[in-house]
Amino acid sequence: MTKLYLDIDGVLLTTKHTQAAPEVEVFIDFVTSHFECYWLTTHCKGDSASVLGYLSHFLPSSTIEKLKHTVLPTNWDALKTEAIDTSSDFYWLDDQPFQAERAYLQANGVANRLIVVNLGRADELRAVQLNLQQLINTTLL
């Protein structure tokens, strides 16, 4: 199954006046059903408990329970790309990847696996979901 690395702030939650992104529960249902999901966020370095506690302020308990059982933790030090298995089939959702992280992906020939999310755009998670669905459909052909 394709791996999906998930940032939180700017992807699942808005960065200004923090709240759940529009359509986030539908998006979470989709990604957890179609991908092997991993947290790739400053809120989670080796243990999912802190990320789930953080998200519980913004998402319903049923969604937190789903995330608890379907999204795995990652561990990294300076750059999020340390946690990405670039030899696997993966995508990474982030709102503000560092230039060094982009360069790492480029050097490993997987820069096209980064999907930059901009919640400032209307219906952004719906657009990202459609993009991911197209990518799934392409790999099935």
pLDDT at 68 over 80: yes
The encoded tokens of residue 73 equal: 């933790």
CB proximity list for 112: less than 8 A, separation 6 or greater: none
- So what's the pLDDT on residue 37? 98
- So what's the pLDDT on residue 15? 92
Tell me: the pLDDT tens digits for 37-55?
999 999 988 899 999 999 9
SS3 38: strand
Q: In what order do the strands lie in the sheet with 71-72?
A: 71-72, 36-39, 3-6, 90-94, 114-116
* Percent of the chain whose predicted confidence (pLDDT) is above 90: 92
Tell me: the pLDDT tens digits for 74-123?
999 999 999 999 999 999 999 999 999 999 999 999 999 999 999 999 99
- So what's the pLDDT on residue 138? 85
- Residue-averaged pLDDT of the chain: 96
pLDDT at 139 over 90: no
- So what's the pLDDT on residue 54? 97
Q: Where are the domains of the chain?
A: 3-140
* Percent of the chain whose predicted confidence (pLDDT) is above 70: 99
pLDDT at 141 over 90: no
Q: Taking the model in full, what pTM does it have?
A: 0.96
Pick the CATH number of 3-140 from 3.40.50.720, 3.30.420.40, 3.20.20.70, 3.40.50.1000: 3.40.50.1000
